[in-house]
Amino acid sequence: MGPIAGIDLSKKIVNQTIAGKDQEHIAQILYSAPEFIGDRTEYILGIIKKNPAYAIADILIKLESMGATVACLPCNSAHAPEIYGVIEDELRKNGSKIRLLHMIEEVGRFIRKQFPEVQKVGILGTSGTFKTKQYKRIEKFGLEVMNVSEQEVEQVHEAIYHPVFGIKSEPNNISSQSLDILNNASKSLLSKGAEAIVLGCTEIPLAMPEKYFNNIPLIDSTLVLARALIAAVDETKLKKW
C-alpha cells in the first residue's frame, strides 16, 4: 500500500511488543511493492479499471510461502468490499490458510473495548473510504458513525493526496495546509457530537500523532492494526493499553 504507511505499521508493531531484547520480538515481513498495486481509491472512484485486489492477493500468497501465518493490509480503502471481497476469493481459490485481519473490524472492536463509553464515532478518510461507507461496519459493535460533509471529504482527500502539500507527497514534512484541513474537519465532527475520531487513512496518523484532539480520543487505525497483529500471533507479547 502506501510505502510510508507500511513502515509506520512495522514500527508500531515493534513499539507495542513486550520485549527485553531483539530476539524477543515477533518476526515480521513488510512487503512493500507500490509499483505493482494500483491506487485503491482511484479504483473505487473509477479512475483506474484494474482491481488492485489481484496484486494484493498475489503478494499475500507470497508472504504465506515465506512463512507468514497472519497478515494485514495497512490501507483503509483496501477494505472496500469490491476490493477486499476479491482478495478473499483469490486466497480461497489458491487454498491459502493465511489469517487476514480486517482493519475496519479491528478498529470497531478496539473502540468498544478501550473506550466503552463512546457511542458516536467520527471518521476521517479518503473519498474512496467514504464512497464505500466502509466504517458502517463498526455499527455491529454498537457504534454510531458520523461523517463530515461532502465538501470536507474532498478537502481531507486533498490533504492526503495533493501532489504538492499532501501527506503522501511529503510524509516527513507535513504541510500546514494539510494539518489545517484535518484540524478543521475534526472540529466539524466534534460539533456534530463525535465522542471519538477514527483516523481512517493510514497516512493521517503521520500528521496527527496525538492520542487526543480537544480531549476526544483519536483512534489511529494503524496502531489498532499493529496491536491486533501482535495479539493474533502471541497475546502475551502485547503491551497494555
pLDDT bracket for residue 127 (50, 70, 90): very high
pTM comes to 0.94
* CATH assignment of the domain containing 71: 3.40.50.1860
Q: Are residues 89 and 118 in the same domain?
A: no
82 and 134 co-located in one domain = no
Alpha-carbon distances, residue 22 vs 11, 25, 30, 65, 104 (angstroms): 14, 6, 17, 24, 30
φ and ψ at residue 227, rounded to 5 degrees: -65, -35
What is the extent of the structural domain holding 128? 103-221
pLDDT at position 171 over 90: no
pLDDT in tens, 12-46: 999 999 999 999 999 999 999 999 999 999 999 99
**Strand 196-199 relative to strand 99-100, pairing:** unpaired
82, 10: one domain: yes
Based on the domain organization, do 165 and 112 belong to the same domain? yes
Query: What is the DSSP pairing of strand 216-220 with strand 212-213?
Result: antiparallel
* Terminal Cα-to-Cα distance of the chain (whole angstroms): 27
Asked whether residue 172 carries a pLDDT value surpassing 90, the answer given is no
Residues 25 and 63 in one domain: yes
Q: Which amino acid is at 92?
A: R
Same domain, 154 and 98: no
133: left (phi > 0), else alpha (psi -120 to 50), else beta? left
Q: Is 203 in the same domain as 114?
A: yes
Q: What mean pLDDT is predicted for residues 168-197? A: 96
Residues 184 and 92 in one domain: no
Residue 147 pLDDT level (bands cut at 50, 70, 90): very high
pLDDT tens for residues 204-234? 999 999 999 999 999 999 999 999 999 999 9
pLDDT score of 2: 84
Number of domain units in the chain: 2
Q: What percent of the chain has pLDDT over 90?
A: 96
Indicate whether 68 and 175 sit together in one domain: no
Query: Is the CB of residue 34 less than 8 Å from the CB of residue 59?
Result: no
Q: Does one domain contain both 97 and 115?
A: no
Q: Are residues 128 and 211 in the same domain?
A: yes
In this structure, is the dihedral angle defined by the CA atoms of residues 172, 135, 85 and 161, taken in order, positive or negative? negative
Whether residue 46 sits in one domain with residue 21: yes
